[in-house]
Copies of this chain bind each other. A is one copy, B any other.
Amino acid sequence: MGIRIEDVAREAGVSTATVSRVINNHPVREKTKEKVIAAMGKLKWEPNLLARGLNTGRGKTVGVVVPSLTNPYFSEIVESIETSLTGVGYLGILMSTGADRSDAREREVVETLARRGVDGIIVVDGTDENNHNGFFSALAGRLPLVVINGSPSLDGVDLVMTDQASGMVKVLDYLYSLGHRRIAFFRADREASADVKMDAYLAWLEERGLTGDPGLIVRFAGVNRSRILVEMEESVYSWISRLEEKPSALFACNELMALGALRGLEKAGFDVPGDISLVGHDNTPYASLVKPALTTVEMKMSELGGAAARRIIDRIEGRGTDPQRILFSPELIIRNSTAPVAGI
């Protein structure tokens, strides 16, 4: 139906191979190249990428896997990935695994993508469980794979990540300097990032000789925005009401949870930061919009996305073949949701 390479070849008076060479920048004499380009222009021909992909095994597409787009943390990463990708002629295929973050679903999604013949896959916040049987590691063997902010223990896969442990320490040191000793920790249930943070939190407690109160660690399921905001208000309220020895500060592993916590605390009659200091994570737009503006940890989402895109392209095109680990350092952003502990 459409116009094919053959037509262009005929028009230019050369063979299809030559046309192919021109569009792939293989050596061709300048004069013939011009003829071909002229023919292409005249016939308005563009190569069919499915056909090309079938040949080369490269469709110039990369799969992008995120839990959800309702958290700005993810949507900003996706946006920057997409921008970097199209900038170099690749296309991003987006799939979300759903806020429940089941690792079964994540694997299914990744496998669908692989079957579709994408050239590589970027997974954001890959759950740790998924590597239990070496799933990610095995996948990385047969397809370029980069994981953003996944578990640092992922072996043999390209990692782009923020040093969240150090961010955690910055938060805790800062709160400590304000006099806080009972610091609650809110996390999502199955979240690679939260695991890292929690490890750092526990290590920090130990180091400071503070006995961690298990009642201060709370796990919530899911990261879906609408659910979080509604449900957390309730559960935070009931959690803190039941707690006999209250915390003086509270850290939430992501901003949505911090927002939910803020509401729950307000509902329970606590003033932030008067009664309780609150620290979020990611520095999404929410953090600066809300009142009090949240103290939080900057995540530089767009840099993460850009780095991941560049890395996957490098791998796809055969540059820098062995797994690499790109690390960003998070900064603490101090706003108005934190204050010296009451009575100091």
A residues in contact (CB < 8 Å) with B? 1, 46, 48-51, 53-54, 57, 59, 61, 64, 68-70, 72, 75-76, 78-79, 82-83, 86, 91-96, 98, 109, 112, 115-117, 225-226, 229, 259, 285-286, 288-291
Closest to A114 in B: B46
Docked Cα-Cα span, A95 to B93, in Å, equals 9
How many chain copies does the complex carry?
Answer: 2
Q: Contact at B94–A259, with CB atoms within 8 Å? A: no
Docked Cα-Cα span, A64 to B94, in Å, equals 10
Closest to A68 in B: B79
Closest to A49 in B: B116
Docked Cα-Cα span, A267 to B88, in Å, equals 42
Q: A92-B94, A259-B289, A289-B286 are in contact. Are A51 and B54 (CB under 8 A)?
A: yes
A290 touches which of B57, B82, B290 (Cβ 8 Å): B290
Docked Cα-Cα span, A4 to B109, in Å, equals 22
The listed residue with most B CB atoms (<10 A of its CB), out of A70, A79, A109, A116, is A79
**For A59, what are the chain B residues with a Cβ–Cβ distance below 8 Å?**
50
Closest to A80 in B: B69
A70 touches which of B49, B75, B115 (Cβ 8 Å): B75
**For A112, what are the chain B residues with a Cβ–Cβ distance below 8 Å?**
86, 91
Closest to A81 in B: B94
A92 touches which of B72, B93, B259, B289 (Cβ 8 Å): B93
**For A116, what are the chain B residues with a Cβ–Cβ distance below 8 Å?**
49, 91
Least distance between A270 CB and chain B CB atoms (Å): 17
**For A226, what are the chain B residues with a Cβ–Cβ distance below 8 Å?**
285
